[in-house]
Structure 1
Amino acid sequence: MLNKAVAASLPVIFAAAVLLGTPTSSPAAGETAAAPAAGAIPPLERIKATPKGQLKNPYQDSDKTVVEEGRKLFLRASCNGCHGGSGGGGMCPPLTNDTWVYGGDDDTLFRLVTEGSDALQKDGYHRIGKENVVGPMMPFGTIVKTDDDLWKIITFIRSNWRGSEANKFGDASKSATAAPVDVGKH
């Protein structure tokens, strides 16, 4: 369990990781910036336009090209600063095991990454899982530029799944509608 000093410093560490890890210029030599998919919009706009439970990832984690694009976006958005290079955990929960703190369905993951855990809870979502290392999830809705990019990041995370197949996509019925579970703050 995190001590209070470490837990209190997580937002500062996170902000530094984002500021230092978010590119401010063009892609590196040899890389090309991927054009957003037709109809791609900012993640915040997508969640405002879509009813709860209706967001569905258009990609499959068997698509190696999308997985690689998702990996690059995961690193570019500094997700690895908290969740490790392949989502296996670090100072924040792993994204590759059987525990989904808020739910593992596409809709919940998209909203969690976009809004962060505090806003997700205000929207009526409840913690349904518990991890030993849990801090508040910061919102990435303005850091990840398009919904298409966020779907690619989620596809990359799913491609690294190490838990049971039965839990890979969570249970959407538990995410927004389940009664709250007392598992502590954030």
Structure 2
Amino acid sequence: MPRTVRIILFCLTFAALIGGGEAVVANTVTPFDRAVGTPRGQLHSPYADFAGVAQEGHKIYLSHDCNGCHGGGGGGGMAAPLTNEVWIYGDDDDTLFRVIALGTGSLSPNDAFQKQGFVRKGSENVVGPMPHFGEIFKTDDEIWKIIAWVRATICERHPAQC
């Protein structure tokens, strides 16, 4: 192989490794770390058109067995329903992301959720704590898509809330 071709291949390989390394470093922040490290009120969904990613969000919801506690359609079960008017801690993007990522009550590692000042705003028949999923979901995007599905489902069932 000519020397010029070897040099070009070496440079391309080296460039690919350097570029790939940056991508890996950028993705090492877990949703749990993001929720702990971001000031309260600053987490916002990137999906203004939540209906556009709702189906993908439902697939992620089902693939992580969220339906085992919240029901396949989000209507509840052994955990609170996701599709009614009662929101135990609030219904803004920031709060919903943190509930999923940090968990609540005794299932929130080192009381991460409570340390951020969250208190119950509503009540449900099911009052058990939510496990933290911020280290199970590998990207923030997975959580945002689940939240998009929840919002789309609420809009189908309660159009006045949308």
Please classify the TM superposition score into its range, dividing by the shorter chain length: 0.7 to 0.9
Task: Provide the rounded CA distance (Å) in 1 between the counterparts of 2:159 and 2:124.
Answer: 17
TM-score when scaled to structure 2?
Answer: 0.72
Distance 2:56 2:122 in 1: 29
Structure holding more helix per residue: 2
In the TM superposition, what whole-angstrom CA distance separates every residue of 1:63-109 from its partner, at most 9, and x where no partner exists?
Answer: 1xx11111111011111000001211111111111000001100000
Question: Is 1:106–2:99 an aligned residue pair?
Answer: no
Provide TM-score, normalisation by structure 1.
Answer: 0.63
- Residue number in structure 1 paired with 2:65: 78
Q: Which structure has the greater CA radius of gyration?
A: 2
For 1:157, which of 122, 140, 150 is the aligned residue?
A: 150
Q: Displacement, 1:122? A: 3.1
What does residue 53 of structure 1 align with? 41
- List, as ranges, runs of 4+ consecutive aligned residues in structure 1 with deviation greater than 3 Å: 163-166
CA displacement 1:13-37 (0-9 Å, x = unmatched): xxxxxxxxxxxxxxxxxxxxxxxxx
How many residues are treated as equivalent by the alignment? Answer: 128
| Deviation of 1:158 (Å) | 0.9
Q: Report percent identity of matched pairs.
A: 52
Does the alignment pair 1:62 with 2:51? Answer: yes
Deviates more, 1:108-117 or 1:44-53: 44-53
1:143-154 paired onto structure 2 within 5 Å: 143-154=136-147
Alignment of 1:108-147 (within 5 A): 108-118=95-105, 119=111, 120-147=113-140
Q: Give the superposed CA RMSD.
A: 1.9
CA–CA separation in structure 2 for the residues paired with 1:123 and 1:165? 31
2:75 aligned residue: 88
Specify every segment of 5 or more residues in structure 2 that has no aligned partner in the other structure, as ranges.
1-25, 106-110
Alpha-carbon shift at residue 165 of structure 1 (Å): 3.6
Unpaired runs of at least 5, structure 1: 1-38, 169-186
Aligned equivalents of 1:164 and 1:95: distance in 2? 15
Residue 24 of structure 1 corresponds to none
